[in-house]
Every structure is written in C-alpha cells, then in structure tokens.
Amino acid sequence: MTSLNIRTNFYKATSFLCTTALLTTLFICCIIEYIITNKLKWRKQPTLSNKENETKLLPNEKIHFISSKSKYNDERPNLSNSNTQVSGAATQGSSSSVRRSTNHDQAEDITHQSTENPYNSIYLAKDDSISKQISEPTYKLVADLKYYYQQYGLDIEKFRIITNDGYELDLWHVVGNSKNESSKNPVLFIHGLLQSSGSFASSGLNSLAYYVRQNLGRDVWLGNNRCGLIPGKRHAEGKKSDDLWDWDLNEMSKYDLPCLVDYVLKATGKGKLDLIGHSQGTMQSLQSLINYKKIDTNFDNCLLGKVENFVALAPAIYPGALIYDNVVLKILASIINSKVIMGTQAFIPLMMYIRNISVTFGSKSVFSMLSYLMFKFLFDWNDTLWDKNLKSRHFLFSPVFVSIKLMQFWLSENNDAVSFKNGKVADLYFPDNKVWFPINNKSDSTFTSERPFHVHEPQDLDVYPKMTLFVPKLDKLVDGNRLCNHFTQFEDKRLYQIYYIDDYSHLDVLWSMDVIEVIGKRIAQALS
C-alpha cells in the first residue's frame, strides 16, 4: 500500500468519525428547534443582517414585480405594513422570517414567519373542483419518478451517459404513450446543489416538469450531474474506477452540462434546446455560456449556439446574507478545507448512505421529515407555500453525492481559494462591471462599446440565448438583487426578462403550490 493510499484511508476514517458527530449534532439541534418552534409555539426574533442591506435593487423597466396570488384566486394575507415604493407590499407566505422595505428612507419591517399554509383549507376541500383537478392519484412514497409518472399516463426513460472525462451521468426522459413529435425545442432541466432533477418533477401534476411536458407539449429531459444518487465508476484511462472526487463546478460546467446538452440534441435531432436551471444549475449554465475560454479551450464544450432560451430559477451567482450569517454555515466553512475532519472525497457520504438505506429498507417518511427539518434549520426555510401532502416526496430525491472539492468551491474562506463565499468566483467569472454578452454594433446594441467586455467579443444578438430570470425577494442564500442590477446596468435589454417575486424563497420556485401560475405560465411565454 502506497503512502498516498495510507493517507487517503486515514482521512476517510477520521472524517467518518468527525462528520458522523457533526451530522448527529445537527439532527439533535434541528429536532430541538422543531419542538420549540412548532410544538411549544415559541417564535425566535429574527435579526437583520448587514449583508442583506448591502445590495439595493435598482428600479428598471425590465424587472417585473410579482406579488404572488394563489391559483385559487385567493390573495395571500398581508402580514406587513410595508411602505415599499419599488416592489409593492410584501405578502404573507414567506419562506423567510425577514421582510424589508425597499424605500431607503423607511425602517426595516420584521414579522414573524407563519408556519401554516394559507391554501390548506382551499386545497383540501373535497368539494373544490380545482382541488380535484390537481389531486394526486397517490401520496405513497416511492423513490422513483417512474412510479408516479406512469400514473399520469407518462413514463420515465432512464439513460446513463459518459462525460469526456469519464463520469457517469443520469439522464431521465419524460415520455408519453406516443412519441413526442413536437417541432419545438426539447427542454433540459438542470438541478441545484445537493439535489437531483427529481426536484423539478416531484410535485407531480403541479410540477414544472409535468407542466412543460403536458401543457406546453415539449420534450422534457431531466439532467443530473456526476455522482448523483449512485456515483458509478470513473471511465477514464489512467484513472482508478473509484477516483471520483477531484472535481468542482468548473468540471460540471466543462463536461457534465455539455454532455447532457449534446446527448439531448442528438437524441431529438434538434439544433437547439431550451435550458431551465435552478440555483447551482444556473451558475453551471452561465459558466458554460460565458466562461468557456476560462475553463476550457475546446469550443465544442461551449453552449453558445446550442441553447435558444435559458430560464434561471433562484439564480446563484452572488452570495447572500445567509452564507455569512448562518452559524452552521460559518462552522462548516471554517472546517471545509480540513482533510482530517471532512476528508478528501465525498461530502458527508453518511447522508447519502442513510438516504439510500431509508428509501430501500427503512421508513421513507421519517427520512423525508428529518431531511426537511435539516434544511429548515440550516437555511431558515419552511414549507408554508408547499402542498403538505407532497413535502415528504420532495426529499426522496435528495441529497445526492457531491465532492468535498465542490463544497469548497461554494464555502471556502481561504484567501488563495477561488470560492463563492470569498467573492473570487464573482470577481473571476461574473464581474459586476463588465458586459458578459456584448452585442456588435450592427445589431443595434442598447449599450455603447465603452463598457468593458468580460470574455466574449461582440456577437450578433441571436448568438446568445434569450434569458428569463426568476429572482425570489426572500432568498437570502444568494444575492439576487446584485444579479438584477448587473443585467439592467450592463446587458442588452433585448436579451433578458427579470421576474422579481415578493413572497418566494429559494425552494419555492420549485415547490410552491402556485408555482404554475407564478412561474410556469411565464416560462410558457419565454419559450414561445
């Protein structure tokens, strides 16, 4: 056994002990918090973060403000006395405990979060025709989308494809009884951190994947990044089959997404597709669209010319207040580079082992409940806007295996690291003060050439995809305001639309009960 193998096994052993202790502590803390806040009805007083106030949203005609309404034509109860001038009154239904006015002269408003879904009485009413229309055939917990979609008259084809650097990717294709002969572009979904693309489909009849397939008549593909629910093997010459973990978002942008895109285009015989990403999937997509020269010299791995429309749900380009203020994330960031504590391979693999054992042999409902409590404790999210009957199903398709290196990309505080948290990802790949998608003069650009370009030289307008951004106002995990300001100040207004949703947070763009009304129908407009 070589010294390298000895060190690797040593780190594997020490990290297993350390992360087991960490995970156990987190579970205990989240259960205690649940008992205190839900059973004893104690409400912790939220505090405003200085980081949250750093980026003010600049008014612009390209930003469309949405004060979300229920698909049942019931307005969400207003719990705040907002004096907002730009975005209108904040409404109840928050996945965050913080509300704030965008009027610079007014004090910040703070309200306690509600844990009761305002739609429950409507949705669960047996005589409600709309409730019946979207009622699921079953709420049985099965960790396989095929089980659910077969009950809708659809099916899920599963493919395992290989990237150019030898990693296995899971690709799921939503198909009907007859072959989809739509002349329109296929639609590829790409998921967020620690999730699979099951997150786009787990709401069943009320999911974005089902809506795009059935209501829009599109050919839907659900893409998953490397390792995922089942890591597979490394198919690369000179690499060991278990050498799976030396990668971060750059490799995912360089290999995974281009591999998924090329496979879908080849399978459908189309020249372009439409791409829908959530959170990490939005950065991965923009990385491939903007920074291919920085991460790869092979133009074939660039998505330009292959994507006609790009939809970004809760785009994760700049860090939000939660990254800096959350105690657990602070602790995790401080130890993420420690090989002794965190190891050198998968990020807390015990989470995935527990998940796989639970969905195969154990209680799926207990696992899903604990997963939800963990997410709620870590990110201050709640299920206020979700269908309670589907909450457990959502968490059957996460977490997934990811590398320690990927988590370092997001959380590392080291000065020599290029990470999301320390701001160097933004500086290197997504600078605020440069044009990412420059348009040449003959395309009648709306901005002058005096603005500095980032990577691309000026191109014709139709070279770039049309972009639609859905930015949740209550999402403190990422800084959506900063991204909005960049687009409105530096990018050609013909390239994008921005929807700013007052009462949504990071996961509500996937699982809110009114997601079709708020997001789905606007996606339909964007893809038309």
Beta strands 273-278 and 63-66 are: unpaired
Of 528, 464, 520, the residue nearest 496 (C-alpha):
464
Judge whether 416 counts as a catalytic residue: no
Tokens 């799976």 sit at which residue?
A: 244
Query: Please, which residues have CB within 8 angstroms of residue 34's CB and are 6 or more apart in sequence?
Result: 373, 376, 377
Catalytic-labelled residue, pool 248, 256, 475, 503: 475
Judge whether 165 counts as a catalytic residue: no
Q: Read out DSSP for 202-247?
A: TTGGGSHHHIIIIIS---EEEE--SSBSS------TTS-TT-----
Contact between residue 194 and residue 398 where contact means Cβ atoms under 8 Å apart: yes
- Strand partners of residue 466: 309
Judge whether 506 counts as a catalytic residue: yes
Catalytic-labelled residue, pool 279, 288, 358, 368: 279
Contact between residue 88 and residue 502 where contact means Cβ atoms under 8 Å apart: yes
Query: Please, which residues have CB within 8 angstroms of residue 262's CB and are 6 or more apart in sequence?
Result: 306
C-alpha to C-alpha distance for 399 and 521, rounded to whole angstroms: 29
Contact between residue 84 and residue 103 where contact means Cβ atoms under 8 Å apart: yes
Of 507, 514, 469, 452, the residue nearest 60 (C-alpha):
469
Catalytic-labelled residue, pool 203, 506, 512, 514: 506
Tokens 């979700």 sit at which residue?
A: 386
Q: Count the neighbouring beta carbons within 10 Å of the beta carbon of residue 105.
A: 7
Q: What is the dihedral of CA 384, 387, 392, 395, to 10 degrees?
A: -70
Q: Read out DSSP for 486-505?
A: HHHHHS-GGGEEEEEETT--
Contact between residue 234 and residue 241 where contact means Cβ atoms under 8 Å apart: yes
Tokens 């050919």 sit at which residue?
A: 219
What would the two tokens of residue 524 be?
Answer: 């339909």
Task: Report DSSP state, residue 213.
Answer: I
Length of the chain: 528
What would the two tokens of residue 185 be?
Answer: 């572009």
The H-or-E segment that residue 335 falls in is: helix 327-335
Q: Count the neighbouring beta carbons within 10 Å of the beta carbon of residue 242.
A: 10
Based on its alpha-carbon atoms, the radius of gyration of the chain, rounded to whole angstroms, reads 22
Catalogue the active-site residues.
279, 475, 506
